[in-house]
Amino acid sequence: MKKRYRKPYLFLLACLLILTISCNAPRENPVDPNNPDNKLSSISGVVKAQGYPFEPIKNVDVFWANDNILVQTDENGEYNIPRVIRNNGWLTFHREGYSDDSTFIDWGKNDIVSNEIFLNSVPTLDSLEFFSVVENRFQFNQKYYVKVRARVSDNEGVNDIVNVAIENNELNLLKVLDYDPAQNYYIGELTLSDLNITSLNEIIGKDFRILVNDLDSNTFVIGITNIKRVINEEIELIQPINNEQVSTPFKLNWIRFIPGFNFTYRVEIFTNETPPSMVYSEGNIAQDSISHTVNSQFGEGNFFWVIWAIDEFNNQSRSKPGSFIIGN
């Protein structure tokens, strides 16, 4: 009996037929690149600083919320988010030291979205002085105020800063500070009237905010400060006072000042004219001192001197003036 063998070409023909049918079948896999209904695409771009020369920013967090994807920009400020589903949504950008930003991705008929984002740097408070001042004068002319002196920097430059202000909502205070271009400081003086109070003691411990407004109408809170002490005690002068005549060198003498906290003295001498001119200043005098020798030559004329007590927070209290005469 003879064995029957199938012809091999019939088997090959069947395989070819199956392959052809499978290639022409509808592509229903959504991630298949040849599927016309494939919704996977990519988002890429670059993030730069808003100010000239528009340097790229690295390590910016770029978040695509639709697919919960987080990437970071590289050394060139570039990022890439591949294989995302083409649904419209928000792409957000975050980097410490810069304002957060976002952009809405509307795919339309695009398969790839590429953009250029500019982040606005947050201004920084480089230094801040905030202290109380009491100037004792004769009769009822005492002067009470708070001094503010802030140095602020911004990567976009000082021209990006519209103003720097100090705020306390409880006191209904919002005051713009003056800019001193010579020293690059924002300065201000808050009187009792500005603060809506009758005594500086009322503001001890209250928080004051330092605000910066920029050209993009952003407002940044860059610092919080407060007054820790008001030096109400007064230093009493001994001599020279009451137009006493002296000659160089001479001593300034005062009653020992014991307010109960650490401090240093500063003495100042002015010409007794309108307006007076400072001709001498010496600070960091030890708190146990009761005199100071002046060796400087001022020439003949009428003068007056004052002495300040300055604590570790720079809060200050000034004595009443003492007048004296050098020469005839």
**What is the token pair recorded at 132?**
């109380």
Mean pLDDT by 10 residues, the chain (328 residues): 47 50 48 55 91 88 94 95 91 92 87 87 94 89 94 78 95 96 95 96 97 90 97 96 94 96 98 94 97 93 97 97 91
Please report where in the chains the tokens 């002085």 appear, as a residue: 129
Residue 95 CB coordination number (10 Å): 21
Residue 206, judged by CB atoms within 10 A of its CB (0-12, 13-18, 19+), counts as: middle
What pLDDT does residue 223 have? Answer: 96
Measured between alpha carbons, how far is 119 from 164 in angstroms, rounded to an integer? 21
Q: 141 phi and psi, to 5 degrees?
A: -105, 25
What pLDDT does residue 31 have? Answer: 47
What pLDDT does residue 141 have? Answer: 75
- Whole-model pTM: value is 0.76
What pLDDT does residue 298 have? Answer: 86
Q: 200 phi and psi, to 5 degrees?
A: -60, -25
Domains of the chain: 36-119 (2.60.40.10), 124-225 (2.60.40), 237-326 (2.60.40.10)
Measured between alpha carbons, how far is 39 from 32 in angstroms, rounded to an integer? 9
What pLDDT does residue 11 have? Answer: 52
Measured between alpha carbons, how far is 35 from 27 in angstroms, rounded to an integer? 5
